[in-house]
Amino acid sequence: MSTISEVKQKALLAKQAAALTSQVTTEQKNEALIAMADALIANADDIIAANAIDLETGRNNGTSESLLDRLALNHARIEGIAEGLRQIVALEDPVGEQLAQFTRPNGLSITQIRVPLGVIGMIYEARPNVTVDATGLCLKTGNTVVLRGGSAAIASNRKIVEIMRSALSSTALPADAIQLIEDSDRASVNEMLKANGLLDVVIPRGGASLIRTVVENATVPVIETGAGICHTFVDESAQLQMAKDIALNAKAQRPSVCNSMETLLVHQAFADKHLTELLAPMQEANVEIRGCERTQALIATAKQATEADYATEYNDYILNVRIVDDLEQALQHIAKYGTMHSECIVTENEQNAAKFLQSIDAAAVYHNASTRFTDGFEFGFGAEIGISTQKLHARGPMGLPALTSTKYMITGNGQIRG
C-alpha cells in the first residue's frame, strides 16, 4: 500500500531531521526562514503557474467563487506570505529558555528548559498560505513538520514545499525538515493520526468536521483548535452604543472565523427598552435574526431559534438572540452551548463583570470588548499555529511556546537514592 509507505516514510525522515533541527541556533533557524521567504518571492511565477492548475481543477469541479478566491495566489499574496515568514524571524525563540533552576538538599542541580516538540503533523484545508505559515512556526521552534493540506491546493502546496525545501539546501537546516503528504486519500490522514512514535503531535486546522475526525480517531496527541460558538451577553446596565458596536463587530466584521459571535444574550430589562435599536445595525448588515419567543415578540422579522441553532457555529450572517432573566441565566446558557472559546459581557456593573470573568470556563473571557480579539496578532504574540480550544498544554491563541515541550537536566556528583 503506497499510502502507508508515504506517510511512514516521510514521517520517519522528519523524525530523523528533528534530531538536527532541535540542535541548531536561533540565528541558523532565522537564516533558513529568510532563505525560504526570498525563494518564494524569486519563484513566485512558478507558484502562480502551479496555483493556476488548482484553480482550473476547482472550476472544473464547480468550486464556489468565494472558495476559489481563498485558494488563488498572485504576486501580492505571495509577498504577503513571505512577509509572514520574516515576521516569524522577528519573534523570540523559546527553545532553550530556562523555566526553572534549583538545587536540592542532596546537591542535585535541576534545570528545566524548553525543547522542541519534535515532529508536528499539520492537517488542514484550503488556503496554501497555511503551508508556509505552519512551516515557518514549526522550524522557528526547532521542530520538523509533516504537512497534509487539502487536495484542492495540492499543486500549489507541492510547488511551495519544493521551493522551501530547496531553499534550505543553502542553510544549516535539512530539507527533510519539511515533508508534504501528497496522497489526497483520506487514508493518509488516518495514518497520520495513528503514527505514534513518529509524530509527536497533530494539529488540525479547518472546519468542525475535520476537527471531529481528528479528535475521534487520533492516538497521537492532538492540539484541538478552532471550534467557536461564542456569546455576547448584554447586561441590564450596558451602555447602548457600546453594546451595539461590540455586538455588530463580534457578529459581522468577519463572520467566517471562529472568534465571531453566534448568539447574543440580552438581559430582559435591557431588551425591553433597547432591543430594536440594539439589533438595528445587524439588520442593516443583512444578519438573519433567529430569536427566542421573547425576542420574536419584540422583533417581528425574527425567525424562531431552536435548540439546534444555539448549538451551531454558523460562521455566517446569522445570529441567535435570546432574552435572559439575569446574569445567572446567561451563564447557564453559555455553560450549556459554549465551546469554551471566547465569551463576552457588556456591562457597567463591575460585580457582574467580575463574576462573568471569574466563572466562565473559556479560553478568553471579555468585559466590554469584542470577542474578535482572540487572535495571536491581536494579543501581540505574532503569527499563530491556531487557537486552542482545549484545556491541556495550551489554551487560546498559541504563540511559539505552544510548539515546545520541556526537559529536566539534572547534574550530580554521584547521588543515589536512599
Binding site for a copy of itself (CB under 8 A): 19, 22-23, 102, 104, 108, 110, 115, 117-118, 196, 200-201, 215-216, 219, 221-223, 239, 242, 245-246, 248-249, 253, 335, 353, 357-359, 361-370, 372-374, 378-380, 390-393, 395-396, 405-417
Residue number, 317 or 373, with CB nearest to a copy of itself = 373
Are 164 and 40 in contact, with CB atoms under 8 Å apart? yes
Strand order in the sheet with 342-346: 303-304, 288-291, 318-324, 261-267, 230-234, 342-346
Q: Which is nearer to a copy of itself, 50 or 246 (CB)?
A: 246
Q: Which residues sit opposite 110 in a β-bridge?
A: 102, 410
Q: Phi and psi (nearest 5°) for 110?
A: -115, 125
Joined together, the cell numbers standing for residue 353 give 463583570
Nearest Cα neighbor of 363 from 387, 335, 399 is: 387
To a copy of itself, the closest distance from the beta carbon of 407 in angstroms equals 6
How many Cβ atoms sit within 10 Å of the Cβ of residue 397? 24
Question: Closest CB to a copy of itself among 45 and 378?
Answer: 378
Q: CA–CA separation, 215 vs 221, rounded Å?
A: 9
Nearer to a copy of itself, 219 or 276 (CB): 219
Cell of 212: 471531529
Q: How far is the CB of 394 from a copy of itself (least distance, A)?
A: 8
CA distance 303 to 299: 9
Locate 319 and state its grid cell: 445570529
- Name the CA dihedral angle for 237, 343, 334, 227, rounded to a multiple of 10 degrees: 160
- Least Å distance, CB 102 to a copy of itself, is 7
C-alpha cell at 119: 515532529
Phi, psi (rounded to 5 degrees) for 396: 90, -160
CB of 276 to a copy of itself, least distance (A): 21
Identity of the residue, 75 or 254, whose beta carbon is nearer to a copy of itself in the bound complex = 254
- Indicate the length of the chain as a whole number: 418
Given its phi and psi angles, is residue 347 left (phi above 0), alpha (psi -120 to 50 degrees) or beta? beta
74 or 106, CB closer to a copy of itself? 106
Closest to a copy of itself by CB, 130 vs 346, is: 346
Provide, rounded to whole angstroms, the least separation between the CB of residue 111 and a copy of itself.
9
Closest CB 330 distance from a copy of itself, rounded Å = 14
Choose between 34 and 113: whose C-beta lies nearer to a copy of itself: 113
What amino acid occupies position 238? A
Question: CA 344 to CA 263: how far, in whole Å?
Answer: 11
Q: Which is nearer to a copy of itself, 253 or 301 (CB)?
A: 253
Let me know the angle formed at the C-alpha of 378 by 210 and 85, rounded to the nearest 5 degrees. Answer: 70
Integer angstrom CA distances of residue 148 from 21, 91, 183, 410: 20, 25, 9, 38
Smallest separation (angstroms) from a copy of itself to the CB of 112: 8
Query: Mapping DSSP to helix (H, G, I), strand (E, B) and coil, where does residue 201 land?
Result: strand
* Shortest CB 224 distance to a copy of itself, Å: 8
In the complex with a copy of itself, which residue's Cβ is closer, 80 or 412? 412
Minimum distance between the CB of residue 194 and a copy of itself, rounded to whole angstroms?
Answer: 9
Q: How far is the CB of 94 from a copy of itself (least distance, A)?
A: 14
